[in-house]
Structure formats: structure tokens, C-alpha cells
A = this chain, B = another copy of it.
Amino acid sequence: MKRIDSSKNELIKQWKKLHKKRGREKSGQFLIEGHHLIEEALRAGIEVHAMIMTEEVILPSSWVVDEGKLVLTTTSVMKELCETESPQGVAAICSLPTDTDLSPQLGKYLLIDRVQDPGNIGTLIRTADAVGLDGVILEKGSVDIYNSKVVRASQGSIFHVPIVKGDLLEWIHEFKRVGVPVFGTALEQASSYSAIQPQKNFALILGNEGEGVNKELLDNSDQNLYIPIYGQAESLNVSVAAGILLYHLRNETF
């Protein structure tokens, strides 16, 4: 077991770089904080390089971690390393999973077009997992899903659902080709979602917080849906909208 008492330690400096996309890409690693996320990563078979913990922490006996990977540190170094205000006293340095395999076939999918907020992306992935989707496709330029805010908001669901980045227009064409109906979301020239029957297969597109879904994608969907607003709010939060639509589209009997 290693011991690190200073935040100037070279390893701590290196690991802090994992908060940035560049640091993750260079090293092929990412950092996660807290019991729940580490539990989910281990369960998903993610490779752990180092498990960093403060003295008070007792690791669950189900976590099999090589003694050589354990790093004991102080609360203040842990605070320095982690991004949350009150870290739980345990963090792990993990290998970025190699490319996820996802090909267009029958099933249920969420397409995410330029959603900006990492918390929203994480919550979308958590919702996609809860409703049992077969995959999530993010528009190419989207935030990295190993961004710690995405990981935290996903509550570990990034380890459960296949997630890829790609050209959404190409995916839409592919889904239509294999017989998966594609639903956009829009405020104009759209049908109320409640008029649509639950679907065995579907691909739902949700878009940027301010601008919604790109017009070209809407033009290429099979049908566009809206959620009626009965009050004075201008719109719903994108993750809330996703929850309403995904749970409506999913048929309990399938």
C-alpha cells in the first residue's frame, strides 16, 4: 500500500489532470469518486489502476483490489484531488473502456443532439438506463461522457448502457433502413406525444437546451413530438422531457 501525504506528489498532480478531457485522452484513464460509482465500475469490469482512500474508509469486502493499487491519503489531499465539495473519502483511477460496439438494429434508442450541460447528459443516460434502452447516441461534438459531472449525474449508468458518438443524421437513416421509427422533438409541426402509441422499437431525438433539435434532423425523422405545456413555463428541462417521452413510448408489455 502506497501513502501520499502531499498534494504536490507527482501522482496526485497527474490524476488531477483527469478532470480535463485532454488529460483523460492522453493517459487513457478517468477518475471516479465515491462508493456507489466505484461499485458500479467494478461490477461493469472496468479496470482499476489505483484506489485512493482516506484512513477512516473501509472498503466493502466485495471489492477485490490488489494491495499494490491501494493508496492511502489525507482528507486534505483527497479534497484537492476530487471535484465534489465533500468527497466521500474514496476515489478510483480507471482505464477508459475501449470503443463500445453499437450497430443500428431493432431496439430502443436515445439520440442526443448537442445537449450542453454535463449534468443533463448524465441524467439523460441515467433515464435511458432506467427505461431499458439498447443504446444512446451522442452527436459528435458532445461533451466527453467520462467528464466527472456526467459520470456523477449518470449515477453509474454510463457503465450500463452502450453509448457511442456519431453523426446523428447517418444514424437516423440507418435506423429507418432497419425499420426503427425515428421520433424528433419539436415545438412546431409536431404531434402531442400522448397521441402516439407505445412502440416496440423507436429512436427518440432530444436536443440542445436552448435551441432544441437541429432542423435537418427533424426534417429526416418519421414524426416529431411535443409535450403540451399547460402552465406558463416556456419549456421543460431536457432530461424531464426525455423521461416523459421515453416512459410513454416504452410499452410495458414488450
Contacts and interface: CB of A to CB of B under 8 A. Distances in A.
Nearest to A246: B244
Contacts of A128: 231
Contact of A160 (B119, B227, B233, B235): B233
A236 B127 contact: yes
A231 B126 CA distance: 10
15 contacts: A119-B119, A126-B240, A127-B233, A127-B237, A127-B240, A129-B233, A130-B227, A130-B229, A130-B231, A132-B230, A160-B233, A230-B250, A236-B243, A243-B243, A244-B247
Contacts of A84: none
Interface in A218-254: 227-237, 239-244, 247-248, 250, 252
A232 B157 contact: yes
Contact of A235 (B130, B161, B194, B252): B130
Contact of A239 (B131, B160, B240, B250): B240
Interface in A135-168: 153, 155-157, 160-161
Contacts of A242: 240
Contacts of A201: none
A90 interface: no
A73 interface: no
- How many copies of this chain does the complex contain? 2
A185 interface: no
A252 B232 contact: no
Interface in A76-129: 119, 123, 126-129
A160 B242 CA distance: 23
A51 interface: no
B129 A240 contact: no
B232 A247 contact: no
Contacts of A127: 233, 236-237, 240
Interface in A150-207: 153, 155-157, 160-161, 192, 194
A168 B103 CA distance: 49
A32 interface: no
A59 to B, nearest CB: 20
A41 interface: no
Contacts of A234: 155
A231 B194 contact: no
